[in-house]
Structure 1
């Protein structure tokens, strides 16, 4: 007896999950990350040109090519976006300086020149980022002021570690070392801010040499 072929079942539809469906082969997580990256780039451009207090969420979204709905998917407000941009930019800058120093390890003059060149060239090549980390971050709210101080402390701690690595035989003086490093970081930031506000008028090499003079002078004192 011949069996009647059973009707083929329709293919089961993929189940929607809490993580969402893929769109054109791109997962919702990746699309969300791409939107976040667009907002970070747009925020850097707007904050670094118009200024933090002179812009709005709508302007940032227009720059990013996104609706406000997607802004609030990633950030609670403009303050949160500025804070994230500042954290990412200063982390990138610290990594650049660290790599520059690592290539000249043990050579104080070359280390100072490499680190300062990396620092000032980054500011020149990224003027919007430079304005964000040196101007726009200031005075927004107490939390961001604390974030700024923490980052400056991190840079000072990094500088202390570098000096101690160069002079392992020297007795550590914690209070003096950290105050000295804090002063040096402040000097570098203020030199950079003046340079930026003057439209990067002086060549990078001249700014590097002026800043290098300060660092090497201190290093020479520490070596005595």
Structure 2
């Protein structure tokens, strides 16, 4: 094991230290990208925020865009994991699962506004983010389709894909407006209204599964 990355200092391997530095850079990138000047994120600024030199930046990321992608993936994975865990813990009732998933998502963007800005802010016009947002909308639509199959027995179809894309896009726009302050509703009210909409759409598709 000749590489310096395999050496152990104070009980911590080089690979572990590298992972820690990568996590620091992603957190610093989230601070900057999710802040008020997200489009001004640069390698120099993120290194200064993380307290690391550019040498350590380039051991984890090829360039700024690769860091932006990692930050975005981190946000999507955090929110998706929280929502899926909430759904799994909600019990067998479909409406309870819908409420649990929506509560988790809304709370995640409310508690950490950086997440909401990275996912939804219209002021972040980076072409890379636009592309990643399109990819994540497809990802969340597939999660929604999976839950529809599991909870309602709805088979895959272009119609179900349409409904999933409609719901995901509508939720994203709703949370965008809410975070921007143009929707004067509480967190509980946002969840309640969205649950009603999601449940109505799910119930509408459910009979097609048995018919």
Question: TM-score by structure 1 length?
Answer: 0.82
| Partner SS state of residue 223, structure 1 | helix
Structure with greater proportional helix content: 2
8 Å CA contact retained: 2:32, 2:41: yes
Structure 1, unaligned runs of 5 or more? 1-15
Pairing 1:1-224 to 2, within 5 Å after superposition: 17-20=2-5, 21-135=7-121, 139-141=125-127, 144-168=129-153, 172=155, 174-198=157-181, 202-224=185-207
Cα pair distance change 1:199/1:167, threshold 3 Å? closer
Cα distance in 1 for residues equivalent to 2:173 and 2:105: 13
5+ long unaligned stretches in structure 2: none
* Matches of 2:52 and 2:23, distance apart in 1: 11
Q: Kindly indicate whether the alpha-carbon contact (under 8 Å) linking 2:152 and 2:202 is maintained by their aligned counterparts in 1.
A: no
C-alpha deviation, 1:135, in angstroms: 2.7
What is the aligned-residue RMSD (CA, Å)? 2.3
Aligned equivalent of 1:8: none
User: 1 CA distance for matches of 2:157 and 2:193?
Assistant: 27
| Larger Rg, first or second structure (1 or 2) | 1
Q: How many aligned positions are there?
A: 206
Distance in 2 (CA, whole Å) between partners of 1:68 and 1:201 is 43
CA distance in 1, matches of 2:145, 2:40: 38
- CA deviations on 1:131-187 (whole Å, 9 max, x unpaired) are 112237965336x5443322211211111121222332x5x3611110111000011
